[in-house]
Structure 1
Amino acid sequence: MASDIVSEKSEEGDLVLTWSGRWTLAHRILAVNVLTLALVGLSIVYLDSYRNRLEKERVHKVEAEAALAAAALPNVVPARRQELLGDLGRKSEVRMRLYGPDGALQLDSWRETGPTYRLRDPTTQKWTKDVARALDRGFNALVGEESLEDFVEPAHDHAQAWSEIAASRRSGETEIEIRQAPELTPVFSAATPVAGGSTLLATDNDRDFTRRVRKQRASLLIALGCIAGLSILLSLFLARTIVRPLRRIAMAAHLVRLGRAREVKVPRLPSRTDEIGLLARSISDMSQSLRHRIDNIEAFAADVTHELKNPLASLRSAVDGLERIDDPGLKKQLIDVIRQDVVRLDRLISDVGEAARTDAELARARFEPVDLGALIEQLVSAWETRRETGNVRIAFARPRRASAIVMGEPGRLARAIDNIIDNAISFSPPDGLVEVAATHVGDEIRIRIDDEGPGVPTELREAIFNRFHSVRPDAESFGRHSGLGLAIARAIVEGHDGEIAVADRDDAPSGARFTIILKAADRA
Structure 2
Amino acid sequence: MSKRRPNWFGQLPLTRRILAVNLLTIVLLAFGVLYLDAFRNQLSEERLTLIHREAEMTASVLAMTPAPARDSVLLSLAKSTGSRIRLYGSDGSLRSDSWKATGPTYTLRDPTTQKWNKDAARALDRGFNALVGAKPLDDFIEPAEDKLQSWSEGTYARQTGQAVTKVRNAPDLTPVFSAAAPVGEETVLLTTNDREFTRTIRSQRTSLAIAMAIAVVLSVLLSLFLARTIVRPLRRIALAAHRVRLGRAREVKVPRLPSRTDEIGQLARSVSDMSQSLRQRMDNIEHFAADVTHELKNPLASLRSALDGLDRVEDPKLKLQLLAVAKDDVVRLDRLIGDISEAARTDAELARAKFEPVDLGPVIEQLVSSWEHRREKGDAHLAFARPRRATAVVLGDANRLVRAIDNIIDNAISFSPPGGLVEIAAARVGDEVRIRIDDEGPGVPEEAREAIFNRFHSIRPEEEHFGRHSGLGLAIARAIVEGHDGEIDVQDRDDAPSGARFTITLPATEAA
Normalised by the length of structure 1, the TM-score is: 0.94
Does structure 1 residue 251 correspond to structure 2 residue 239? yes
Deviation per residue, 1:44-97 (Å, 9 max, x gap): 111111101100111111111221211112333333322222221122111101
Which segment is superposed worse, 224-233 or 293-302? 224-233
| 1:260 Cα deviation after fit | 4.6
Aligned partners of 1:329 and 1:470: how far apart in 2?
Answer: 31
| 1:415 Cα deviation after fit | 0.3
Does structure 1 residue 26 correspond to structure 2 residue 15? yes
- 1:115-264 correspondence runs (5 A): 115-195=104-184, 197-260=185-248, 262-264=250-252
2:124 aligned partner, one-letter code: L
| 1:141 Cα deviation after fit | 0.4
CA RMSD of aligned residues (A): 1.7
Does structure 1 residue 348 correspond to structure 2 residue 336? yes
1:316 aligned partner, one-letter code: R
Match 2:94 to one of 102, 105, 126: 105
Contact 2:359 2:511 in 1 (8 A): no
Contact 1:164 1:176 in 2 (8 A): yes
Aligned partners of 1:61 and 1:209: how far apart in 2?
Answer: 13
Contact 1:151 1:182 in 2 (8 A): yes
Equivalent residue number for residue 7 of structure 1: none
Which segment is superposed worse, 57-66 or 199-208? 57-66
Aligned partners of 1:179 and 1:408: how far apart in 2?
Answer: 83
Deviation per residue, 1:459-516 (Å, 9 max, x gap): 1111110001121111111111000000000000111111111111111111111111
Contact 1:454 1:510 in 2 (8 A): yes
Aligned partners of 1:104 and 1:489: how far apart in 2?
Answer: 114
| 1:240 Cα deviation after fit | 2.9
Which segment is superposed worse, 392-401 or 33-42? 33-42
| Structure 2: gaps of 5 or more residues | none
Match 2:291 to one of 289, 303, 322: 303
Equivalent residue number for residue 3 of structure 1: none
Instruction: Give the secondary-structure state (helix, strand or coil) at the position aligned to 2:291.
Output: helix
| 1:31 Cα deviation after fit | 2.8
Equivalent residue number for residue 364 of structure 1: 352
Instruction: Give the secondary-structure state (helix, strand or coil) at the position aligned to 1:83.
Output: helix
Does structure 1 residue 452 correspond to structure 2 residue 467? no
Aligned partners of 1:261 and 1:520: how far apart in 2?
Answer: 42
Aligned partners of 1:384 and 1:261: how far apart in 2?
Answer: 53
| 1:162 Cα deviation after fit | 1.4
Equivalent residue number for residue 61 of structure 2: 72
2:323 aligned partner, one-letter code: I
1:49 aligned partner, one-letter code: A
Aligned partners of 1:368 and 1:237: how far apart in 2?
Answer: 50
Match 2:406 to one of 415, 418, 421: 418
Aligned partners of 1:230 and 1:161: how far apart in 2?
Answer: 53
Contact 1:32 1:231 in 2 (8 A): yes
Structure 1 residues 165 and 387, CA gap change in structure 2 (3 angstroms): closer
Instruction: Give the secondary-structure state (helix, strand or coil) at the position aligned to 1:106.
Output: strand
Deviation per residue, 1:136-157 (Å, 9 max, x gap): 0011001111111111112222
Aligned partners of 1:235 and 1:522: how far apart in 2?
Answer: 52
Aligned partners of 1:17 and 1:120: how far apart in 2?
Answer: 62
1:132 aligned partner, one-letter code: A
| 1:393 Cα deviation after fit | 0.6
Aligned partners of 1:291 and 1:252: how far apart in 2?
Answer: 13
Contact 1:501 1:514 in 2 (8 A): yes
Structure 1 residues 387 and 158, CA gap change in structure 2 (3 angstroms): closer
Deviation per residue, 1:106-155 (Å, 9 max, x gap): 11111222111101111111111111111100110011111111111122
Match 1:38 to one of 27, 43, 54: 27
Q: Specify which structure has the bigger relative contact order, considering alpha-carbon pairs within 8 angstroms and separated by 6 or more residues.
A: 1
Equivalent residue number for residue 277 of structure 2: 289
Which segment is superposed worse, 264-273 or 391-400? 264-273
Match 2:38 to one of 18, 24, 49: 49
Aligned partners of 2:261 and 2:206: how far apart in 1?
Answer: 43
Instruction: Give the secondary-structure state (helix, strand or coil) at the position aligned to 2:247.
Output: coil
| 1:245 Cα deviation after fit | 2.4
Contact 2:357 2:510 in 1 (8 A): no
In percent, how many aligned pairs have the same letter? 68
Equivalent residue number for residue 272 of structure 1: 260
Equivalent residue number for residue 79 of structure 2: 90
| 1:523 Cα deviation after fit | 6.2
Aligned partners of 2:353 and 2:200: how far apart in 1?
Answer: 76
Does structure 1 residue 382 correspond to structure 2 residue 370? yes
| 1:261 Cα deviation after fit | 6.4
| 1:33 Cα deviation after fit | 3.6
| 1:32 Cα deviation after fit | 2.9
Number of residue pairs aligned between Structure 1 and Structure 2:
509
Aligned partners of 1:396 and 1:497: how far apart in 2?
Answer: 24
Aligned partners of 1:301 and 1:74: how far apart in 2?
Answer: 116
Match 1:490 to one of 475, 478, 482: 478
Contact 1:83 1:112 in 2 (8 A): no
Instruction: Give the secondary-structure state (helix, strand or coil) at the position aligned to 1:150.
Output: coil
1:320 aligned partner, one-letter code: D
Aligned partners of 2:152 and 2:248: how far apart in 1?
Answer: 86
Normalised by the length of structure 2, the TM-score is: 0.96
| 1:164 Cα deviation after fit | 1.5
Contact 1:17 1:272 in 2 (8 A): no
| 1:289 Cα deviation after fit | 1.1
Contact 1:443 1:520 in 2 (8 A): yes
2:417 aligned partner, one-letter code: P
Aligned partners of 2:253 and 2:142: how far apart in 1?
Answer: 80
| 1:37 Cα deviation after fit | 2.8
Contact 1:444 1:520 in 2 (8 A): yes
Instruction: Give the secondary-structure state (helix, strand or coil) at the position aligned to 1:141.
Output: helix
Which segment is superposed worse, 308-317 or 134-143? 308-317
Aligned partners of 2:251 and 2:39: how far apart in 1?
Answer: 64
Which segment is superposed worse, 267-276 or 371-380? 267-276
